């Protein structure tokens, strides 16, 4: 896995947090007026579940009576054999300073796996009575301990109210799923008792319905169990806020908790190229997030958007030219980080997802021409062909082939005229197969066979005219047998005997006319005698 980090040390830079407005203009059509910053502190904008568990209807080994509050997974869906699973989740809003500023709430779940297919949708319902998470867990093949009174189990479920949302996790697993539950959260914030929510299978459920049991990470899930490692993967509630209707707005971000906010400011209409609200300046929000002419060497900006990123860090050259801009979500790089040459031309763009590079990273020459193409898969590993290009011409310089982070396939190097210069075969991150180098005239210069990073078979070198120059036989990386060298005209130049990588037997060198030049007898790598007559 490749993780690129561009986050600078704030001790060496002046940090300015700039908030861009994304509310609509006032009815009069003029620029929006400034308003106070969001009063939700950064560390509470991502609320982690305070309770989560699930209930399973299957009576086998008393699963229907068991509590799974300490288990690291939440199940929800339908099993044609065991029946229904329901996931219960609860959040605590006591740390939110001003709930009136919340404009949107998104439930975020880490989707682990699915037993069966994804033919059953899931509904999210309001829970209308209390329940206890409990401390039980799953014990494969053992009779489960019954839940204590009040603890969640299938036979001790709380009551539920109306359905608030419907979703289908889909086929893509080991990834985040976002579900908008704003109406439900607004009810809680406006006085409805908050007993949490339940996720359950939708539709008519019977044995004729295929199995669709979705599993999500619970708050007990070890942060290193799944990629990206080190990241909390339990249920989260993401709160979006707007500071009134003015031009100052933000998406509450845990990313902000690591930044100084001693010099917060709002972007006024005078900072824009027009008298419209701040979110209408030319760089909003793409292709360039950062202002072209900053007030300082480093700023950190917050955006209110329906999608990522929620903040962007901008770094500048001493000349004031933008150097780097990279987006953040929940304290991790998320989005396309960009680096610029000092002439303003894009130098590099790297797509991030929760701190890992996922997608195609690209590098460019100062002219703007593509220099490097670097693909990554969903695991954050190189996957595909990394390609380099010559400057000034439309020609590939080098290609490296990867499969899930390991070199696999042919690596090739080309000359400017497009002619192949080198090729090396890899398998599972090791040299495996044919290696060849070529002269400019296309003739083979060198060829050998590798087996799991070791030379194996005949290795040959050639003169530019195609005449063989030398040949040696290898087995598991060690030369053995008779090695021969030749003059360019074809006459024998030397003959050397090897055993297990050591000279053993006669070593003979010849003049071009065929006369013996020298002769030495070796014994397991040690000179034993001369064989000259």
**Residue 104 exposure: Cα atoms within 13 Å on the Cβ side:** 14
- Rounded to the nearest integer, the mean pLDDT of the chain is 79
* First vs last C-alpha separation in the chain: 63
Q: Contact 330/255 with Cβ under 8 angstroms?
A: yes
CA distance 310 to 316: 20
pLDDT at 508: 94
Q: What is the pTM of this model?
A: 0.51
Tell me the domain boundaries of the chain.
44-240, 278-290+300-530
CA distance 75 to 89: 12
pLDDT at 402: 94
Mean pLDDT on 398-402: 95
Express as a percent the part of the chain with pLDDT over 90.
Answer: 56
Mean pLDDT on 361-365: 96
Of 73, 41, 17, 48, the residue nearest 238 (C-alpha): 48
CA distance 519 to 533: 9
Confidence check: pLDDT of 474 > 90: yes
pLDDT at 133: 95
**Cα 387 to Cα 234, 366, 392, distances in angstroms:** 38, 18, 16
Q: Which residue reads 């310089």 in tokens?
A: 397
CA distance 152 to 134: 7
Confidence check: pLDDT of 525 > 60: yes
CB-count burial class (<10 Å; 0-12, 13-18, 19+) for 441: exposed
CA distance 223 to 231: 5
Q: Contact 282/309 with Cβ under 8 angstroms?
A: no
- Residue bearing the bigger pLDDT, 11 or 498: 498
The fold adopted by the segment(s) 278-290+300-530 is: Outer Surface Protein A; domain 3 (3.90.930)
CB-count burial class (<10 Å; 0-12, 13-18, 19+) for 360: middle
- Residue bearing the bigger pLDDT, 420 or 9: 420
Q: Contact 2/380 with Cβ under 8 angstroms?
A: yes
- Low-confidence winner among 16-30, 165-179, 323-337, 455-469 (lowest mean pLDDT): 16-30
Confidence check: pLDDT of 122 > 60: yes
Local confidence band at 211 (pLDDT 50, 70, 90 cut-offs): confident
Confidence check: pLDDT of 19 > 90: no
């Amino acid at each position: 896995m490749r993780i690129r980090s561009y986050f600078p040390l704030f001790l060496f830079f002046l940090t300015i947090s700039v908030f861009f407005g994304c509310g609509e203009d006032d009815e009069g059509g003029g620029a929006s007026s400034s308003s106070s910053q969001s009063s939700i502190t950064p560390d509470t904008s991502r609320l982690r579940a305070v309770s989560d568990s699930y209930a399973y209807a299957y009576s086998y080994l008393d699963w229907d009576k068991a509590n799974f509050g300490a288990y690291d997974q939440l199940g929800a869906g339908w099993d044609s054999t065991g029946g229904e699973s329901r996931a219960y989740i609860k959040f605590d809003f006591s740390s939110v300073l001003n709930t009136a500023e919340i404009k949107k709430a998104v439930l975020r779940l880490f989707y682990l796996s699915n037993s069966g297919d994804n033919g059953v949708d899931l509904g999210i319902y309001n829970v209308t009575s209390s329940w206890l998470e409990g401390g039980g867990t799953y014990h494969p093949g053992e009779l489960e301990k019954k839940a204590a009174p009040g603890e969640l189990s299938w036979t001790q479920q709380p009551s539920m109210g109306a359905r608030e949302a419907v979703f289908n996790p889909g086929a893509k697993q080991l990834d985040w799923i976002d579900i908008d539950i704003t109406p439900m959260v607004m009810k809680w914030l406006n006085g409805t008792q908050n007993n949490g929510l339940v996720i359950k299978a939708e539709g008519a459920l019977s044995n004729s319905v295929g199995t669709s049991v979705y599993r999500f990470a619970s708050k007990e899930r070890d942060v290193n169990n799944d990629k990206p490692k080190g990241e909390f993967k339990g249920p989260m509630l993401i709160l979006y806020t707007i500071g009134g209707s003015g031009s100052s707005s933000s998406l509450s971000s845990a990313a902000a908790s690591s930044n100084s906010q001693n010099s917060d400011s709002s972007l006024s209409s005078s900072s824009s190229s027009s008298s419209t609200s701040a979110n209408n300046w030319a760089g909003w929000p793409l292709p360039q997030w950062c202002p072209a002419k900053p007030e300082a060497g480093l700023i950190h900006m917050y955006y209110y958007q329906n999608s990522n990123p929620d903040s962007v860090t901008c770094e500048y050259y001493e000349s004031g030219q933008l150097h780097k801009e990279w987006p953040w979500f929940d304290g991790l790089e998320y989005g396309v980080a960009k680096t610029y040459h000092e002439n303003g031309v894009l130098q590099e763009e790297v797509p991030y997802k929760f701190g890992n590079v996922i997608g195609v990273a690209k590098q460019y020459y100062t002219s703007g021409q593509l220099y490097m193409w670097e693909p990554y898969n969903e695991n954050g590993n190189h996957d595909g062909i990394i390609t380099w290009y010559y400057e000034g011409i439309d020609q590939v310089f080098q290609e490296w082939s990867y499969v899930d982070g390991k070199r696999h396939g042919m690596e090739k190097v080309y000359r400017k005229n497009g002619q192949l210069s080198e090729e090396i075969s890899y398998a599972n991150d090791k040299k495996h197969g044919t290696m060849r180098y070529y002269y400019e005239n296309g003739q083979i210069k060198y060829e050998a066979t590798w087996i799991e990073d070791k030379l194996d078979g005949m290795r040959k070198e050639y003169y530019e005219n195609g005449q063989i120059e030398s040949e040696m036989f290898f087995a598991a990386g060690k030369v053995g047998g008779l090695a021969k060298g030749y003059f360019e005209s074809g006459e024998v130049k030397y003959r050397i005997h090897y055993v297990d990588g050591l000279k053993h037997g006669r070593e003979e060198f010849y003049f071009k006319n065929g006369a013996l030049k020298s002769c030495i007898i070796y014994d397991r790598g040690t000179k034993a005698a001369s064989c000259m007559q």
